[in-house]
C-alpha cells in the first residue's frame, strides 16, 4: 500500500498532520518535564556537543581538535549556541521534540496504522516512556536526528523513492555512527538495483556538509571528526556495546566482541542478500532497517544508553507484527516486548550498572531485543506464507 503521506497534499490537507505533530510534541515534553517537576531541561550534553565548541567557533573560528563529531555537526548546531547555554538547551529541546514527533507520525503512516488522535497519543506515550528517548531529550543529545533519518529512510525505500532515501542517509551524517550499517546496506542495495539517484542525493548532502566545514577545519581529519579515535580509545571499555560488555567479561581482550561482531555482521548480510534475491526487500524494509539498527548498536565500538533511542523503529515494527498473530500469541508477545523494552533496562541498571559502575551492561536489553524482533518476523511470515 502506498504511503498516505506520499500523495500530493494541499495546505488544508497538511493541517491534521501538523496538528498530530504538535500533539505528539506536547506529550513528549510532558513525559520529560512532569516526572522531573520542572519546566526547563538542563544544558548537560548540549554544552559538550554544541555550546562550548560553538562559542569557540564564534570567537576563534575553529573548534578543539579533540571534538569527536564531524565538524559539520557543530556548524549546523551553531544557531543554538548564539545565546546562553540555558536558552540554547531549551531551543534544542523544542527542536528535538519536533524531530521525534515527526518521526512518530511518519512511523504510524509507514506501518499503515490508522492515523487518529487516540492511537497517536498511545504511541507517543510509549515512546516518551522509553528510557533512551527520555534521556536523549533530558540531556540534549542528537539522537532525535538519527531517529528521523531512519524513519524517512525506511518510508522512502518502501515506496522506492531513491532520491529521498539518499537525502535521509545524508541527514544521518549529523551523527553518522548510528546509521553506518544502514548506509552500507542501502549503498549495496542501490548498486544491485542500479539506482544511482541515491548516490547523487547522498553525495549532494555530503558535499554540502563538507563545503560548510572546510573554511573552519584546522586539519582535513577534523572535518570528519578529529577527536573520534582518541574518544574511542578512552571510552571503549565503558560503552553500552558488545565491546564494553566484552571487556567486562574478558578484561583487556578484543577477541570476544570482535568475533561476535563478525558473526552478527555476517548474519545481517545474509538476511539482506536472501531478501533481495527473493524480491521481498521492499515489503520487508521496516524489518530489514530495524534489525540493521539493532546490530549497529551492538557492534558499534562507541555508543551509550541514550543512543538506543533509535530502537523506536524496530520496536514499532515488532508491535506491528502482532496484528498478524492469533489473540493468545499476540498477548504473550506483547508482554515479552514490554518486559524487554521497559522493565529489563531498569532491572539491568539496578542489578548491574549501578553495582559495577559501568554502562556496558546496558547493551543487554539490546541483545535481548534482537531475537524478539527476528522470531516475531519469522512467526508472522510463516503464518501468512502461501500454501504450496
* Residue 275 near residue 153 (C-beta atoms within 8 A): no
Q: Residue 145's pLDDT is what? A: 97
| pLDDT at 95 > cutoff 50 | yes
Q: pLDDT tens across 158-214, in order?
A: 999 999 999 999 999 999 999 999 999 999 999 999 999 999 999 999 999 999 999
pTM: 0.93
Q: Residue 24's pLDDT is what? A: 97
Calpha distance 58→78 (Å, rounded):
9
Calpha distance 380→376 (Å, rounded):
6
Calpha distance 299→283 (Å, rounded):
26
* Residue 205 near residue 170 (C-beta atoms within 8 A): yes
Q: Residue 10's pLDDT is what? A: 53
| pLDDT at 382 > cutoff 90 | no
Domain ranges for the chain: 4-379
DSSP per-residue string spanning 10-63: -HHHHHHHHHHHHHHHHHHHHHHHHHHT-SS---HHHIIIIIHHHHHHHHHSS-
Instruction: Tell me which residue of 267, 291, 270, 296 sits closest to 376, measured CA to CA.
Output: 291
- Average pLDDT, integer, range 346-375: 94
Length of the chain, in residues: 388
User: Please, what sign has the CA dihedral across residues 63, 68, 70, 73?
Assistant: negative
Q: Residue 244's pLDDT is what? A: 92
The C-alpha cell at 278 is 527473493
The C-alpha cell at 293 is 539498527
- Roughly how many angstroms between the first and final C-alpha of the chain, as a whole number? 25
Residues sharing a CB contact under 8 Å with residue 168, sequence separation 6 or more, in sequence order: 149, 150, 152, 153, 156
DSSP 64: -
Residues sharing a CB contact under 8 Å with residue 310, sequence separation 6 or more, in sequence order: 143, 146, 147, 150, 178, 293, 297
pLDDT band at 4 (very low <50, low <70, confident <90, very high): low
Q: Residue 231's pLDDT is what? A: 78
- Average pLDDT, integer, range 312-328: 93
Q: pLDDT tens across 11-30, in order?
A: 556 678 899 999 999 999 99
Q: What is the mean pLDDT of the chain?
A: 91
pLDDT band at 386 (very low <50, low <70, confident <90, very high): very low
Q: pLDDT tens across 224-244, in order?
A: 987 778 878 888 888 999 999
* Residue 245 near residue 118 (C-beta atoms within 8 A): no
Amino acid at each position: 500500500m502506498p504511503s498516505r503521506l506520499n500523495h500530493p497534499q494541499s495546505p488544508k490537507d497538511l493541517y491534521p498532520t501538523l496538528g498530530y505533530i504538535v500533539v505528539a510534541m506536547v506529550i513528549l515534553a510532558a513525559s520529560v518535564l512532569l516526572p522531573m517537576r520542572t519546566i526547563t531541561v538542563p544544558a548537560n550534553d548540549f554544552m559538550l556537543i554544541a555550546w562550548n565548541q560553538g562559542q569557540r567557533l564564534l570567537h576563534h573560528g575553529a573548534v578543539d581538535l579533540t571534538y569527536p563529531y564531524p565538524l559539520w555537526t557543530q556548524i549546523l548546531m551553531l544557531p543554538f549556541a548564539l545565546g546562553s547555554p540555558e536558552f540554547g538547551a531549551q531551543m534544542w529541546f523544542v527542536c528535538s521534540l519536533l524531530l521525534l514527533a515527526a518521526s512518530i507520525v511518519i512511523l504510524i503512516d509507514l506501518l499503515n496504522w490508522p492515523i487518529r488522535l487516540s492511537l497517536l497519543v498511545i504511541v507517543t506515550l510509549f515512546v516518551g516512556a522509553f528510557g533512551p528517548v527520555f534521556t536523549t531529550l533530558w540531556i540534549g543529545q542528537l539522537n532525535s536526528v538519527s531517529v528521523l533519518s531512519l524513519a524517512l529512510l525506511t518510508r522512502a525505500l518502501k515506496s522506492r523513492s531513491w532520491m529521498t532515501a539518499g537525502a535521509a542517509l545524508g541527514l544521518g551524517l549529523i551523527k553518522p555512527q548510528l546509521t553506518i550499517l544502514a548506509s552500507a546496506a542501502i549503498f549495496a542495495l542501490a548498486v544491485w538495483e542500479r539506482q544511482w539517484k541515491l548516490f547523487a542525493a547522498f553525495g549532494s548532502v555530503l558535499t554540502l556538509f563538507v563545503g560548510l566545514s572546510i573554511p573552519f577545519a584546522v586539519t582535513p581529519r577534523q572535518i570528519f571528526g578529529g577527536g573520534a579515535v582518541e574518544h574511542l580509545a578512552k571510552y571503549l571499555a565503558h560503552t553500552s556495546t558488545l565491546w564494553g560488555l566484552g571487556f567486562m567479561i574478558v578484561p583487556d581482550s578484543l577477541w570476544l566482541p570482535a568475533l561476535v561482531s563478525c558473526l552478527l555482521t555476517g548474519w545481517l548480510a545474509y538476511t539482506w542478500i536472501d531478501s533481495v534475491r527473493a524480491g521481498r526487500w521492499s515489503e520487508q524494509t521496516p524489518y530489514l532497517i530495524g534489525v540493521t539498527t539493532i546490530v549497529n548498536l551492538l557492534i558499534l565500538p562507541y555508543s551509550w544508553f541514550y543512543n538506543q533511542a533509535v530502537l523506536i523503529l524496530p520496536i514499532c515494527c515488532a508491535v506491528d507484527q502482532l496484528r498478524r498473530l492469533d489473540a493468545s500469541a499476540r498477548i504473550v508477545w506483547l508482554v515479552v516486548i514490554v518486559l524487554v523494552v521497559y522493565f529489563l533496562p531498569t532491572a539491568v541498571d539496578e542489578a548491574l550498572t549501578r553495582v559495577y559502575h559501568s554502562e556496558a551492561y546496558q547493551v543487554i536489553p539490546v541483545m535481548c531485543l534482537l531475537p524478539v524482533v527476528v522470531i516475531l518476523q519469522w512467526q508472522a511470515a510463516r503464518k501468512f506464507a502461501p500454501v504450496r
